[in-house]
Structure 1
Amino acid sequence: MSITAKELAASLGLSATAVSMALNNKPGVSTATRQKVIHAAEEAGYDFSKIKSSDDISGTIYVIFYKTSNAILSYTPIFEELYEGVKLICQKKKIKTRVIQFYEKTDDLDECFADIRGNDCIGIVLVGTEIKKEICEKFLNLRIPLTLLDTYFESLHCNSVLINNRQGAYLATEYLIGLTNSQPGYLKSSYPIYNFESREEGYFQAIKENGMSKSRSIIHSLSPSIEDAMADMLELLDDNVNIASCYFADNDVIAIGAMKAFKLRGYKIPEDIAIIGFDNISESRIVEPSLTTMDVPRLFIGETAARQLITQIESKTFHHSKIEISTHIVKRLSHCL
């Protein structure tokens, strides 16, 4: 059983009022006292979820972009849209937001947690595109309301809001099969994350349901950036690997990189090779030919994450949920004339 605020006050030789003000980030105690109370509460296993918010929520929602590498989160426009969605909902509720860019290789997680505990953080939107489960568990152990954005872990009890990756990949692959009456290849990211793993499942689900053999799929493993995907694909082409007549790509940057490589080696898009990407980034509209892709409603995803988090902050009882947002195909010129 966790320690109560009254017991905490007695152990620190402080009044219950002072401890309450410190825990609830209210004025009336010094910064040193506030940090002392929060540190002691954490050490004693105090349940921070007991802290109630008023109808007018005071405090700040932290939006933390957790990077383990520059492989995925280096494409900033996608994540700017996610943050804009969070910010829009928070502004309507008159809640402040703060962005933290955390890079695992150079930043200190304990310092990040100290910042969160020592300030007015009332909830966290954790953009965990690249995050590992054990790191997510550490954030959950802060006992601050949290919504996990852009990934999911079966064994963790927390809100998750993410793309319906499997469905999107399934729809793209199914569309290519119907269009070309042939088995699509797969331009697979060489960098593994949950989103790509789910897209792979959707791709193979469509292959299986159309009576095609998984073993006959032509799969190319490419780096998830335009330049590196192009270099990888050029190397494969120069090695005379088998080429499919159409491909589903894990994301748009891989698709665009592969398209550039195919064109450099004399292939015509879509006459020789049709390609569908995923994400609908701005470059997909201006590349030649324009890229057919699965559109991701990033602003809405950010808004949904903020709503889920605010509901958790305001509710006395809360049930965790996983929300998957559907995608839809945007037809351009890379899949047909």
Structure 2
Amino acid sequence: MTAKLVLHLPDHERAALEAGKMASLYPRLKRMIERRGGRVEIAPRFPPTAPDGNLHVVDNARKPHPDVLISALAYLEGCWHLDPKGVLADSSIAERPFDPETVDPVEAEAYVATLRVRFSDQRNSRYHQKKSVEEIDPEGIVVFLQGPPPYRRGHAYMGLDEMLRTVLEGAGGRPVYIKPHPIRKDEGVQVIKGLKELGYRPIKTNANVHDLLRQAAVTVSANSAASLEGFLHGTPTLLFARADFDQVAGIVRTPEDFAPALEQALAGRRDYTKFLTWYFSQCLWLDDPEFEAQVMRRFAEIGFDADRLGLSDIS
């Protein structure tokens, strides 16, 4: 019996798929398989613990499983992980060494130019952003708050409160701007209020993320997508958690690490062009003409080639 593709989706992704929306990875996979005569099942988010002979794609799974590819948005809209090991901080990219000498500089400049046109030049980000332009002190440190995942999944090197106190106490007179997460604004406001009650002087901001990134001296987060977006602006970042883009970031594991990491980050802006090219070339872009071929290669790499899935050739 041929294998089927089983998509394990959270409610919002399932609803979008059922509504016929095509902005996500999952309807693209469903359409791709069905066009080739294969079978697709939509299932609850978590897969069976033992292999059942089918190929499972699981949204944001925390741990790898046999016959499973784990999926999640890879920081930029339209770009996805589809990875047997994990996503984001747990993706296979995290284990691969980045060697800038292997990246063609001309190709990298062209590649990243398209990313800038699509994202930073248009001031577009994953979540809704202000259209109005705002200015900040170019000496400022911008902290991007996140939700629970980096802490719940054990990626963070320290808790949120300790991270914020470390930054505020080690800023050396630089203003510290804190941007609440766009879908957790109330929580962020309370965090900032609590810091002020303790005598700190953070500056709350809801400015467009690209206004902050283009002007900040450095960004700080656990492993926020905004920190990676900052590379489009040449802005360095300090990470207080594991990430699959931390090879070109400053890493802060303890409060004592912050001062030297900040000094090094401020020593001179870096060219992140080759790294962005290397990183995103390992992800799936929904609008890539080679999207379906890349997906089929990933399926085959874990043992699910076209024959096993019962797919016909439509080339």
User: What is the TM-score of this pair, normalised by structure 1?
Assistant: 0.33
Of Structure 1 and Structure 2, which has the larger fraction of its residues in strand?
1
Q: Which structure is richer in relative contact order (CA contacts within 8 A, separation 6 or more)?
A: 2
More helix by share: 1
Normalization by structure 2: what TM-score? 0.35
* Higher radius of gyration, 1 or 2: 1
